[in-house]
Amino acid sequence: MSGAVVVEAPGVHRLVPHEPREPGPGEALVRVHAAGICGSDREVYQGNRPEGYVRYPLTPGHEWSGTVERVGAGVPETLAGRKVVGEGFRNCQVCDRCHAGETTLCTAGYEETGFTRPGAMAPTLTLPARLLHVLPDDADLTGAALLEPAACIAAAALKANARPGERVAVVGTGTLGMFAVQFLRAASPAELLVVGTRGDREALARQFGATGFLTKDRPLPDDFDVVIETAGSADAARTAAALLRRGGRLVLTGIPAPGADGLDPTDLVVRQLEVHT
């Protein structure tokens, strides 16, 4: 890529000349190898991103990989030349949530690469070096661009706490859904069902470890121990909750549009569902 993608406003984008920004103290300049396109990037382009979570004009790109070219003052010179990926959230490091290690819940305000700060759909990206994660020298940088969404689902799988022999399900058949299948499969479930809207995703879901597949227009069971929702719609959240047995565990990873009708709190309480986000 010789230029940077800039989304001027919803539905308006252009390719502009790109000049690397020299890293300041505590920063690193990364030569971008690959940048993924996420559902939230589509929200940015369509104008569906919640208010306060996007700042136009902007260069998108929050899931990416690259190689460090230069570093600023206070950053070890040995970082130059290393393959890296990076966290997106620009947490403050001083609030109570940051001190507790819950940096994505930072109370200082929302700032994230690719949404309120320049992202990776450009030849280079300059960002705080503390956000970088160094990869092995032989890492596949193309595949590494997917580590950011994979990490999101890894966190969801940890919250789900699936145990061997449990019946688990995934709602959603996109990239996040396929990651969820792989992480849940590692827990040795008795059954791993995938529910989605696209029947053509069944073969891929089974390749990654699903033991069953249903489209949401089919009759669905209601006795699963764990369900991870990855589709990001209110309808998907309701479908996920309906799959659970009483006392089951639900993890929501998608973000529905603001104001969407969601889960029925009466149902959550009566069936004593355990809900995580």
Cα 147 to Cα 24: distance, rounded to the nearest angstrom: 26
The alpha helices in the chain, defined as continuous H runs, are 39-46, 96-99, 141-144, 147-160, 175-185, 202-207, 234-242, 265-270
Write out the chain's pLDDT in tens, 277 residues. 579 999 999 999 999 999 999 999 999 999 999 999 998 999 999 998 888 999 999 999 999 999 999 999 999 999 999 999 999 999 999 999 999 999 989 999 899 999 999 999 999 999 999 999 999 999 999 999 999 999 999 999 999 999 999 999 999 999 999 999 999 999 999 999 999 999 999 999 999 999 999 999 999 999 999 999 999 889 999 999 999 999 999 999 987 777 667 789 999 999 999 999 9
Q: What is the pLDDT of residue 257?
A: 72
Strand 212-215 vs strand 191-196: parallel, antiparallel, or unpaired?
parallel
For residue 117, what are the CA distances in angstroms to 55, 113, 123, 233? Answer: 8, 5, 15, 26
Backbone angles phi, psi at 25, to 5 degrees: -55, 130
- The string over 12-31, giving b where at least 16 C-beta atoms fall within 10 Å of a residue's C-beta and e elsewhere, is ebeeeebeeeebeeebbbbe
Q: What residue ranges define each of the domains in the chain, with the CATH number in brackets?
A: 3-143 (3.90.180.10), 150-276 (3.40.50.720)
**Paired tokens of 70:** 């230069």
Cα of 211 vs its chain's centroid, Å: 24
Q: What is the pLDDT of residue 1?
A: 54
Q: What is the pLDDT of residue 156?
A: 97
Q: What is the pLDDT of residue 256?
A: 77
Q: Model's pTM, two decimal places?
A: 0.91
